[in-house]
Amino acid sequence: MRRTYFKLLLVVTLALATTGLPAAGGADATAGSSPTFKHLQTLAFGPDGVLFAADGQEVSITALQLAKQMAGGVPGTKDIAGIDQKIAGLLGVDAKNLVITDMVVNPKTRNTFISAMRGQGAGATPVLLRVDGAGKIEVISFDQVRYSRVLMPNPPPAETPLVLGERKIPVANYPDKVDPKGLMGVQTITHMAFIDGKLYVSGLANEEFASKMRVIPYPFVTVSKGTSVEIYHGSHGQLETFSPVFTFVPYTIDGVPSIVASYLCTPLVKFPVSAFEPGSKVRGTTIAEFGNRNRPVDMIIYKKNGQDYILMSNNVRGVMKVPTQPFGKADGINKQIADTAGVPFESVASMKGVQQLDLLDSTHAMLLVQTAAGGLDLKAADLP
Amino acid sequence: MRRMSRTAATITAVLVSASACQRADHPSPGTASPDPRIELRSTAPDLSSVEVVGLPGEDLAALERRPLAREQWTALLRVVVSSKTAAVDAATADRPAVLGSYAVREGRLRFTPQFPFDTGQRYDVVLDPSRLPTSPTRSPAPWHSRLLTRSIELAALPLQPTTRVMAVFPSAPEVPENQLRLYVSFSAPMSRSGGARYLRLLDQAGQAVVDPFLPLDVDLWNEDQTRYAVLFDPGRVKRGIMPNEQMGRPLAAGRTYTLVVDQGWPDAHGQPLAAPFRRQFRVGAPEEQAIDPAAWSLAVPHEGSDDPLTVTFPKPLDYALLQRALTVSGPGGDRVPGDIRVEANETRWLFVPKVPWQTGTYRLLAASILEDVAGNRIGRPFEVENLAQGEVKGEARPASVAFRVLPRGR
């Protein structure tokens, strides 16, 4: 019942924005070696040897030249039970002082890369790790690593309102003010994906339409202004502009290159890639609502028995499997709905407590799973 | 916070088990001396290392000549995060060795962690002398046959729970049944961990009220993390929309409730509160009128005085909004700097100017966001809007109340 009425209250508009020309200063790329980070937030693999790492506190993206560090391990990723304890032990801290912020699988080597914060608060140290097919966990030092970096222009203020009817509740955007176990999560930079020579980045900016999708050509030269994109959020009964996309994947829907994205409480939305023109504003098509009080975390696309599926993990509602076949003809949701609506999906009962999700190979997902005892296991699972 | 506690740390090594653990197959410890020993070396809070003092010179020379691989180093000198359940020497091999560098310096074997040792974290250190380079060729000294173990800890200054709940707002003994939010005020900054799990509302039978607060894990703190806002679920407070119709308002007029703040709520230093906190209040009739500035009474000081301007309201207003939604502008129109106090259960607002009052016309400015405890604003009661339709019948507005500061003796 709580979910039902909660939906009635939240009326939020979401805008993704891809930017046009940068404001003077701050948006041009810099380069160097031995980068430092304030808060490693999210990762994405780029072209050969490049790993993109977003700093959620500085609101920057760094392209790390890690060809050497990506090579050399045993291919694949071995399951590691209690990986939080193992990593914490290497770093010399108690596991309760370790926060894993992202996990991605290298599509070439199938090694798993994990970003984490050692410690909490202002003294926390960002750490990047690699797990290989033999189960070896290595800290990847940034010493002497070549990098290029772009700062996101017009970064968001400390807080962005969550709109509740006519009320605006301030929600912290930056990692230093966000409870890592809370519903909302860090909102400055939420997700990245490298598509056809461009890095797509979701997050917030300091604008009326706060939610942004930036499209940044790589190699980095500059970051342009964004395209604002709003969506109708059926379970909240309103347009969303303040809350960011939390995860997305590129996917071609009936021949149209698209971005499939998900938001808090938990609409699934499609945007044609062609819509992300600098300076414009687009409204995505809401094709499903997956229920309230829930933040999407990761999405992957896979094929099974000739059918394409999206697998999406959430911080509350478990993993959902969504056949993509109906996406092209799905009607947009344009009015308030009850709990869930739109294209069909199923909850994957075998995947409980999934905190991070990525594609390991054509038949397996790599999962970071919270156990009943509170620890974290790294394990591969058959794609459902 | 962590950096502060580090700076303040007293650097001490806590000796838990400095004595050797005998191996079963070498029952006689003998009396050879001086035996090697493990020490914590700390030149600065972030620059600590573990040293083995008193190793034979030929071993150190061999280690310098031919450094070991990581697996060999960690077999010789292993530093692990201490486990509450395992003994110092037991099972260290099962726990990952802390990453760091090994070197021979100043006649000692030194391990420097890649990431500084954490204050308040205990580490187990085990030296296995049988792994020393010259061990196979020497007639073994008695210490050679034993694991040397020690636990070390960079002790932080001992912390005591000192943070307390100072107040809960609204502070009146009776609140309207459509109260929209409350604030818990602390004596010191609190942690970032979510507050919802530490707050309970009990009815007069002592039973927890089900879902009284907005089901949103958003933590609403003021800038210095000393005041926490709790929103009663506005869906249940507002009439005529589904949650209110299904569940009724969370507070019922005529009843008494108790807000309980659990002692376990961690402050910014990770310490629990010094004491649990309970606050009982009665619930009265709903407050459904818009704020009317014409009903406020102002007590205006004379010229040259730095006495406060005192504004009295006919009903309590929102404590946090009173800190920022009311301001004073001077005869020239500029904002007058000053300090704000809120008294009398949030029915009195006092403004003490930084410079004495001057003769002339001042203005008390109320922003349109000002609310009473039930969300009613100036010119806009909470209940007029029709949320489901997105319809707005009356806009909240700012207000300006002029007052004259008169010369003394007038």
Query: So what's the ipTM on this one?
Result: 0.80
Please give the order of strands across the beta sheet that includes B181-186.
B165-169, B181-186, B227-231, B220-221
User: pTM to 2 decimals?
Assistant: 0.69
On chain A, the residues whose CB falls within 8 A of the CB of B215 are 2, 6, 293
| Chosen domain end from B106, B128, B153 | B153
CA distance A226 to B407: 58
Q: Do B2 and A124 touch (CB under 8 A)?
A: yes
- CA distance to partner chain A, nearest, from residue B140 (Å): 32
Task: Quickly state the pLDDT bin for B193 (edges 50, 70, 90).
Answer: low
Nearest to B234 among A9, A90, A91 (CB): A9
Domain assignment present for residue B410? The answer is no
Q: Do A293 and B79 touch (CB under 8 A)?
A: no
In this structure, of A266-280, B203-217, B321-335, the range with the lowest mean pLDDT score is B203-217
CA distance B56 to B338: 71
- CA distance to partner chain A, nearest, from residue B49 (Å): 12
The full DSSP string for A67-136 is HHHHSSSPSS---BTTHHHHHHHHHTS-GGGEEEEEEEE-TTT--EEEEEEESSGGG-EEEEEEE-TT--
Domain assignment present for residue B90? The answer is yes
CA distance A298 to A314: 7
Do residues B304 and B321 share a domain?
yes
Does the beta carbon of A239 lie under 8 angstroms from any beta carbon of chain B? Answer: no
Do residues B87 and B123 share a domain?
yes
Do residues B185 and B270 share a domain?
yes
Residue A170's pLDDT is: 74
Do residues B126 and B248 share a domain?
no
Domain assignment present for residue B49? The answer is yes
Per the prediction, chain A carries an average pLDDT of: 84
Give every CB contact of residue B247 below 8 A, 6+ residues apart in sequence: A1, A5, B210, B211, B236
Domain assignment present for residue B339? The answer is yes
Residue B1's pLDDT is: 36
With contact defined as beta carbons under 8 Å apart, do A212 and A17 qualify? Answer: yes
Domain assignment present for residue B394? The answer is yes
Q: Please check the confidence at residue B30 and state whether its pLDDT lies above 80.
A: no
Domain assignment present for residue B160? The answer is no
Please give the DSSP secondary-structure letter assigned to residue A3.
H
Determine if residue B270 is left, alpha or beta; phi over 0 gives left, psi from -120 to 50 gives alpha, anything else beta.
left
Do residues B218 and B137 share a domain?
no
Into how many domains does chain B fold? 3
Task: Quickly state the pLDDT bin for A51 (edges 50, 70, 90).
Answer: very high
Q: Do B387 and A178 touch (CB under 8 A)?
A: no
Interface test with A, best of B80, B81, B98 (most A CBs within 10 A): B81
Task: Quickly state the pLDDT bin for B394 (edges 50, 70, 90).
Answer: low
In this structure, of A65-79, B230-244, B380-394, the range with the lowest mean pLDDT score is B380-394
Do residues B349 and B319 share a domain?
yes
Residue keyed to tokens 């023109």: A277
Region B134-161: mean pLDDT is 78
Summarize pLDDT for B292-302 with one digit per residue, the tens: 999 999 999 99
Q: Note the maximum CA span of chain A.
A: 56
On chain B, the residues whose CB falls within 8 A of the CB of A174 are none
Do residues B112 and B242 share a domain?
no
Q: State how far Cα B105 lies from the chain centre.
A: 41
* CATH for B191: 2.60.40.1220
Domain assignment present for residue B311? The answer is yes
For residue B82, what are the domain limits?
Answer: 7-153
Region A130-153: mean pLDDT is 95
CA distance A336 to A188: 28
Summarize pLDDT for A357-380 with one digit per residue, the tens: 999 999 999 999 999 888 999 999
Do residues B37 and B141 share a domain?
yes
Percent of chain A at pLDDT above 70?
Answer: 87
Cα atoms found within 13 Å of the Cα of residue B322, Cβ hemisphere only:
28
Percent of chain B at pLDDT above 70?
Answer: 79
Q: Do A89 and B96 touch (CB under 8 A)?
A: yes
**Phi, psi at B244, each rounded to 5°:** -65, -40
| Chosen domain end from B99, B133, B153 | B153
Nearest to A86 among B96, B211, B221 (CB): B96
Do residues B12 and B129 share a domain?
yes
Do residues B71 and B45 share a domain?
yes
On chain B, the residues whose CB falls within 8 A of the CB of A1 are 243, 246-247
Do residues B299 and B275 share a domain?
no
Region A330-348: mean pLDDT is 82
Does the beta carbon of A274 lie under 8 angstroms from any beta carbon of chain B? Answer: no
On chain A, the residues whose CB falls within 8 A of the CB of B247 are 1, 5
Do residues B17 and B146 share a domain?
yes
Q: Do B388 and A237 touch (CB under 8 A)?
A: yes
Domain assignment present for residue B72? The answer is yes
CA distance A332 to A287: 5
| Chosen domain end from B284, B309, B340 | B284
In this structure, of A132-136, B310-314, B395-399, the range with the lowest mean pLDDT score is B395-399
On chain A, the residues whose CB falls within 8 A of the CB of B121 are 92-94
- CA distance to partner chain B, nearest, from residue A304 (Å): 37
Does the beta carbon of A334 lie under 8 angstroms from any beta carbon of chain B? Answer: no
Residue B27's pLDDT is: 36
